[in-house]
Amino acid sequence: MEQQPSVQSGASGPSAMDPATECGHSPGTVAAPAYDEDLLHKVMLLGDSGVGKTCFLVQFKDGAFLAGSFIATVGIDFRIWDTAGQERFRSVTHAYYRDAQALLLLYDITSKTSFDNIRAWLTEIHEYAQQDVVIMLLGNKSDMCSERVIKQEEGERLAKEYGVPFMETSAKTGVNVELAFLAIAKELKQRAVQQPNEPKFQIHDFIESQKKKSSCCGFM
């Protein structure tokens, strides 16, 4: 069975004392679509067995998500599905793709097989998932540099080929784990309130800006 850990930590909302949000819009302006903060977004973790999906989820749940700081900051809640143990029975997970809003696709930087299989995973995703699903490619186990067989540039090239955002992560140390969830959260929330004349949220640019901030602070 799939693991479906969902942490219900009420998302933060606008202050009742804020005159700009009390009535939903300012005089003379068109109200932006209201975001339903009670909405749960389904996120799936995908990838070959052994790439670190469960550890990735545990790292996130034990960090910002469980503490409530993630939801309080972003104002969005997730229902996260870990498909660990089902990789060998792909048909079992096909139905689960249909209502997923975001997919985190992981490979192991120390495993060429897991990287080579990413194309098969992406083919399956494009066949069974929603057309507008948010996809992010993650090269996990970045802490194991001495055992690396997949260069970061290879992951970047593959992600560019499929038009999806990419970063390397470490479920062990927590590097970029929260950032991965933060990026898809902002993308999903922006889509929900997007006005036709507003610029789209650029998830690639957001990731790069956040990585530069972390690098300046000495965390990368």
Please report the pLDDT score of residue 143 as a whole number: 96
Domain around 181: 36-190+201-216
Convert the chain into a string of H (helix), E (strand) and C (coil).
CCECCCCCCCCCCCCCCCHHHHCCCCCCCCCCCCCCCCCEEEEEEECCCCCCHHHHHHHHHHHHHHHCHHHHHHCCEEEEEECCCCCCCHHHHHHHHCCCCEEEEEEECCCHHHHHCHHHHHHHHHHHCCCCCEEEEEEECCCCHHHCCCCHHHHHHHHHHHCCCEEECCCCCCCCHHHHHHHHHHHHHHHHHCCCCCCCCCHHHHHHHHHHHHHHCCCC
pLDDT digits (tens, 9 = 90+) for 45-96: 999 999 999 899 888 776 544 444 445 555 567 788 877 666 665 555 687 8
Please report the pLDDT score of residue 45 as a whole number: 92
Give me the CATH number covering residue 210. 3.40.50.300
Positions in the chain whose pLDDT score sits under 50: 1-32, 35, 64-70, 216-220
Please report the pLDDT score of residue 111 as a whole number: 98
Tell me, yes or no, whether 141 lies in a domain.
yes
Number of domains in the chain: 1
Please report the pLDDT score of residue 88 as a whole number: 61
Tell me, yes or no, whether 8 lies in a domain.
no
Please report the pLDDT score of residue 1 as a whole number: 43
Q: Which of 88, 8, 86 is nearest to 44 (CA)?
A: 86
Cα-Cα-Cα-Cα torsion 120, 124, 130, 133, nearest 10 degrees, comes to -20
Please report the pLDDT score of residue 218 as a whole number: 42
Tell me, yes or no, whether 97 lies in a domain.
yes
Cα separations (Å) of 99 from 7, 23, 44? 19, 32, 10
Tokens for 146? 């001495």
Please report the pLDDT score of residue 94 as a whole number: 80
Main-chain dihedrals φ then ψ at residue 138, nearest 5 degrees = -125, 125
Tell me, yes or no, whether 23 lies in a domain.
no
Tell me, yes or no, whether 31 lies in a domain.
no
Tell me, yes or no, whether 12 lies in a domain.
no
Tell me, yes or no, whether 181 lies in a domain.
yes
